[in-house]
Structure 1
Amino acid sequence: MNEAETGPVLYAEPGSTWWPVLWGPGFALIGLIVELATPAGGVNLPVWILLAGVLAAATVLWVYARRRALAVQLTPSVLSVGGEELELTRIAAITDVGAPMGARVLGGGFTPPKGTGEIPLRLSDDKVVLAWAKDPATLIDELRPLLSES
């Protein structure tokens, strides 16, 4: 959904930044500098350029996957967690909700991603699901007024 359909973004975690794409070219540059500093002879500049490109391309795929799988976004009408969208009208409670064993994790997976905190949500059909975020307290603070209004 786009912003016109769901409203402004109130909370967002991108899942990853793009700066890791620079790691590969940086390592290739270090390798080139080391090769230039050694008295062994010829410099393989095309190989270093190819290596930088291959490492950058692989990292682009990795970052893109993380941005899709680990993104969290809250708008006035939708909570999107790991690519799964949950309409806020389906959320009945976020306080005093226990996380039962086997509760479904939003966005797929068996557990919330490493480095995130879980947020149990009771849905209107009385099922409990687990949302997650790197900063769960802030997400709850942003989510709470949206639920009390509805």
Structure 2
Amino acid sequence: MSAKPSVAPIARRIRDECLASPLRRLSRVVNAIYDEALRPIGLTVAQLNLLAAIAGLDEDATAARIARALEIEKSTLSRDLARLEAGGLVRRREGGREKRLELTARGAKLLEAAVPAWERAQARAAAALPSLPLLARTLREEEPVRRARPECD
């Protein structure tokens, strides 16, 4: 018989106290709400956020700036940008040391057309999860997030 220690108490503690696990589940639930609303126009919430980031950064939209702004891995960004480019929604253009990203006319129209679906998803997510708007505001505050983020760069 093995003298292996029981890890069941550790597993229960992590299950009951871990902050990351419920946030990951929450993220999946909220993403599903937005993805369902955006599906009829052919976008996911990740793609919508990418289009909005490119439009919001305007002339300063580079892959590096977008990755930082959205806090996504460069590999994820590359994959998502390739899909948007293939769909004719985004294009790259020369702009100094780094290529600039911009919405095509089709991408801008789709971003505008997505607003009603996005608004429905916003309302549905807020109704289903009343504390979500407060959590989102807290996470948007740069200072607390910066202090909590591990030094990875």
> By percentage of residues, which structure has more helix?
2
User: When the two structures are superposed, what TM-score results if normalisation uses the length of structure 2?
Assistant: 0.30
> By percentage of residues, which structure has more strand?
1
Larger CA Rg, structure 1 vs 2: 1
